[in-house]
Amino acid sequence: MHFVAKQGDTQAEKALAILGNLGHTVTILSEADTAPSTSVAVFTPTRQAFQGSKRKYLRCSAIKLGNDLAPTWVHTTKLRVAVIRTERPERKREHRWMNKRKGFETAVEEMERHYQRWLAEDNLQPVPWSYSTKDPSITPGSKCQKAVKAWIELSSVLEFRRTWIIKKSGVQKITTEICGWQVNHTQVEFPFLRGNQTDALALLAKWSGCFAPEETWVRQRHGVPSLVVRIDCIVRNSQLIVYEVEERPAGMGLSCVVNPYFPKTLEGVARTWPEFEVKVSPKRRATDDSLWIKALNWQMPSPSPLKLVRAEPEETEFHAYEVQSVSSVKAKGNKSYGLAMGLWQQVVNTSELLWDESFVLKPLQGSKLKDLEIWDPQGRPGASKRKQIEEALLRNQTMYCQKLHPPMETGIPEYPWMIYRVFFGYDLALKTWVCLGGNWNARYNLRIHGASDALFGPLCVD
């Protein structure tokens, strides 16, 4: 994308410096220049008309940034970004976790990726009415929708873009039954940026050598713990922060449903895999594996010599499949890799815990949030009580303690916190991990997982 600003507009120049670092073409225009029609103009509005725009640093709207608010040099493009302010507003004392302000740099990065989404659409011109998920409220017959439709007609845009934005009443969501589970999902997309992909791939290269060794087919033949893994993580200030690496992840089938791009990326790396069958314990509820197998159009041999085992490590009757396994069997959920990688520390006594700070306590081996305790002095929903933590440590005797990095804020009132669940497949031909994308997962709770009150959406990669 091409972003432009006027020389001497200090706030706009700050934004262009950030956009330049993201790899975009940026131009500081001279006094006589006007914005090219296909460029995105960044400017300070000619008058202060946004006093009610709490928590916002930018305004991006072809509707609300008319010529009366934009300098003359901007009138030549409909792609407009007004810089409202660059300073951090004062934080309220009450409910500070709900009122946390995003910084100017984060606002610019969000604006950039939203424009990326608009411009990635095929055969459609951009209609960037707003970068904010709450502005405007696109409802049938609303004043803003009428203005958008009028602008589309004037601009010869042939059809309305898919409305992914959040309404004031909540997110536009769909509820779908997926393998016996009721799943709430939406078409709102978030990108997993290239820089974060690079960081994740470097982490997986280290993780592969740190994960508990097991005599599986994939380890013996290819030197990795699994053909497919999932990183549960967040991105804050452009930095990747990893919660855990799931070496036998669920959720690929769900991603095939909620993320229209996921089946294609999965198919690309799966071409290098031998076909394998999923062996599911009768003690488990239905899995979503049938959905991704269907997406790959696999014609499963009966039985396949290779297996993906869906059973707990204590189910010893499945240990015989270890030498045929494309992922973990006995080592499922083993978290010892985090010690070597510096992700967490081992604790044996509550006196080792720093009660003035937020932390997560997790078992040495396990999954599905079992025995996972969250200590949060701020008292956010989903946190454990001190007695629960003390009892968990007494019961397990030894546990891992990780600093609590709060989930990302979504801006969606019903689902304020989210994490990314990013899948990676091991390309057997290239002998490297490939980022497949996946889904973002949100809840009104620090315990973010696939509960019935959770929300999922597509996490996309370029």
CA atoms of 272 and 427, how far apart (whole Å) = 6
Angle at 202 between CA 197 and CA 204, to 5 degrees: 95
CA atoms of 303 and 13, how far apart (whole Å) = 63
CA atoms of 220 and 211, how far apart (whole Å) = 14
Q: From the DSSP assignment, how many helices (H) and strands (E) are in the chain? A: 10, 20
The whole-number pLDDT of residue 25 equals: 87
- The number of beta carbons lying within 10 Å of the beta carbon of residue 220 is 11
Contact status, residue 360 vs residue 402, Cβ threshold 8 Å: yes
CA atoms of 85 and 82, how far apart (whole Å) = 9
The whole-number pLDDT of residue 67 equals: 76
pLDDT tens column, 3-44: 999 999 998 999 999 998 888 888 999 988 999 877 889 998
Sheet holding 2-6, edge to edge: 25-29, 2-6, 40-43, 80-83, 58-60
The whole-number pLDDT of residue 139 equals: 52
CA-CA distances (angstroms) from residue 331 to 250, 317, 334? 16, 15, 5
Which residues have C-beta within 8 Å of that of residue 128, sequence separation ≥ 6?
A: 60, 61, 62, 79, 114, 115, 118
Whole-angstrom Cα Rg for the chain: 24
CA-CA distances (angstroms) from residue 78 to 37, 46, 67, 440? 7, 16, 10, 31
CA atoms of 232 and 403, how far apart (whole Å) = 15
Amino acid found at 333: G
The whole-number pLDDT of residue 398 equals: 96
The whole-number pLDDT of residue 112 equals: 82
CA-CA distances (angstroms) from residue 350 to 300, 336, 385, 387, 405? 50, 20, 13, 11, 20
Kindly list the domain boundaries of the chain, sorted by start residue. Answer: 2-123, 177-274+333-460
CA atoms of 228 and 327, how far apart (whole Å) = 8
The whole-number pLDDT of residue 368 equals: 72
Chain-centroid distance of CA 318 in Å reads 34
The whole-number pLDDT of residue 458 equals: 95
Low-confidence ranges of the chain (pLDDT < 50): 89-101, 121-138, 152, 154-169
The whole-number pLDDT of residue 261 equals: 94
| Strand 359-362, strand 373-375: pairing | antiparallel
Three-state helix/strand/coil letters over 118-181: HHHCCCCCCCCCCCCCCCCCCCCCCHHHHHHHHHHHHCCCCCCCCCCCCECCECCCEEEEECCE
pLDDT tens column, 208-225: 999 999 999 999 999 999
